[in-house]
Amino acid sequence: MKIALVGIGKIALDQHVPALKDSPDWELAATVSRSGQVEGVPAYTDIDAMLAAHPDVTTVSLCLPPVPRFAAAQAVLRAGRHLMLEKPPGATLSEVHALQAMAQGVSLYATWHSRMAHGVAGARAWLADRTIHGGRITWREDIRKWHPGQDWILEAGGMGVFDPGINALSILTAILPRPVHLTGAELDLPANRQAPIAARLSLSDNITADLDFLQQGPQTWDIELQTDGGTLALRMGGNLLEIDGQPVDGQDSIMQEYPALYARMAALVRQGASEVDLAPMVLVADAFTLGRRVTVAPFDF
């Protein structure tokens, strides 16, 4: 099946393009970007021009930042093409609801790449019949390493530390045996920015989250949960599952995150189905609603 990729930036070149190159399901037939290109693939700067020139492109994958993505998503759905959305699926929940209403007769897939990490399925299965007594998320990474010079991520709608932090919440909402909700939040906003650089969350089931975008040195992507049947930990962004401190075998053979996303998209298209789970985004929206703002030192790249 032919697919177009919109937004040829760092994440597209690092993850999406290699995944499509190796996919048995997809052929990358076109790209749309203000400046980025993929060698050997027809490149456009306007999504409507690409759609008009490629009626054979049945599916479009959007890798644009959340704020400008909605207009492109509308254009894809109006053209009757299947649509795949990089996380988060939109800048607002109402945008994504509008896209769901538009997606008649085509597949809409709101992806959460961290849910495809090697340990997530095993964690979900182990927790299925257990009671959660408490837990802690520690998700700390370096904005300068992963988003160098990308000022948009700290603007209104850019989500700030929740851009990586929503990955942790996507895993949490996928593995818990019952829904989780936010009970409180504290957001650290640099004096010269519009989005938080760090956040601390309180959730139901005595779960807390420590999110930080200023971590230097080794990066930390851990989820630890205490249950009535022992302690579970997911480390390395969900790729290492531990039960009572011991690694669980059999995780190395699982497909990598982005190839797994594109395999899932292929299955949805063939089934004529959609998959739009907004639970992680709801928790982030609730954090902005409930969160107490703390002004911290200005941040500059």
Which residues are catalytically annotated?
87
Cα(77)–Cα(106) distance, integer angstroms: 8
Q: In this structure, are residues 232 and 123 in contact, taking their beta carbons and an 8 Å threshold?
A: yes
Q: Break the chain down into helix, strand, coil percent, rounded to 5.
A: 35, 25, 40
Exposure b/e, 152-181, CB count within 10 A at least 16 = b: bbbeebbbbbbbbbbbbbbbbbbbbeeebe
Asked, as a colleague might, if the bond just before 88 is cis with ω within 30 of 0, I would say yes
- Provide the β-strand partners of residue 241: 234
Strand order in the sheet with 182-190: 246-247, 240-243, 230-235, 220-227, 132-140, 207-212, 198-203, 182-190, 292-296
- The three-state DSSP-derived secondary structure of 194-263 is CCCCEEEEEECCCEEEEEECECCCCCEEEEEEEECCEEEEEEHHHCEEEECCEECCCCCCCCCHHHHHHH
Backbone torsions φ then ψ of 202, nearest 5 degrees: -120, 130
Cα(43)–Cα(35) distance, integer angstroms: 9
Q: In this structure, are residues 201 and 129 in contact, taking their beta carbons and an 8 Å threshold?
A: no
Among 41, 74, 80, 33, residue whose Cα is nearest residue 58 = 80
Cα(36)–Cα(38) distance, integer angstroms: 7
Place of tokens 């997809």: 26
